[in-house]
Amino acid sequence: MNRTQKRMNTGRRGWIPGTDRVARVPWPLTACLPLAVSLMVLGCETTTATRSPFSATVDDPSAQRLHEICEHLLLYYAVNQALPPTLEGLRQVRPESLPPLVSPESGQPYVYHRTPIYLQGRSSRLLIHDPVRAKATIRGEPARWVVLVAEPDPELGGPLATQVVPITESEMEAAFAAAKKSQASQEPSTP
């Protein structure tokens, strides 16, 4: 009896019936095969994605324009290591590709806040906002597009982080009220 016949007679794994050959299957395939079969038998559970409470789509023209402005804002910051004094200051960096600094919905200029205005529950601060409400709502409340910015730690350095997000009118009003209150408490009182 030769070696092939011995293999066939001993019932070793990998023997191909009707031949005198032994199949060599890579070990990862043999290890994963039971898992794959069990997943097919059990089936995959599908989950439905939760919809954002914001009713606008990501192709909102104002959001797109704010993203383009953020690109210039990041370039300006990379060159100057500071935010521009005004939005018009962004013209120093690639002025030919700077989009109009006005809302595509209303034609009014975007509002730029050089002084920090913080939104409750967020570590970033409000830098730019659309002058008018968006057509969409968040949980039924009117909203508008804003640019939030997180400046790097002065000691550690690093890049500026920007984010274009919709916020509700009540969030915006609360942020402005808190900023006004903070500014009033920092001003020296007059006798």
Domain that holds residue 114: 61-183
Is residue 69 a part of any domain in this protein?
Answer: yes
Q: Which amino acid is at 88?
A: E
Backbone angles phi, psi at 46, to 5 degrees: -100, 145
**pLDDT at residue 78 is higher than 70:** yes
Is residue 130 a part of any domain in this protein?
Answer: yes
Number of domains in the chain: 1
20-24, 85-89, 112-116: which has the highest mean pLDDT? 85-89
Mean pLDDT, rounded, for 98-125: 90
Is residue 108 a part of any domain in this protein?
Answer: yes
3-state secondary structure of 77: helix
Is residue 75 a part of any domain in this protein?
Answer: yes
pTM value? 0.65
DSSP string, 7-46: HHHHT-TTB-TTSS-B----HHHHHHHHHHHHHHHH-PPP
Is residue 190 a part of any domain in this protein?
Answer: no
Is residue 38 a part of any domain in this protein?
Answer: no
Inter-residue contact 136 to 53 (CB < 8 Å): no
Is residue 161 a part of any domain in this protein?
Answer: yes
Tell me the per-residue pLDDT of 35-63, one tens digit each, with 9 for 90 and over: 444 444 444 343 333 445 554 555 788 88
Tell me the per-residue pLDDT of 138-169, one tens digit each, with 9 for 90 and over: 888 888 899 999 988 878 877 889 999 999 98
Is residue 172 a part of any domain in this protein?
Answer: yes
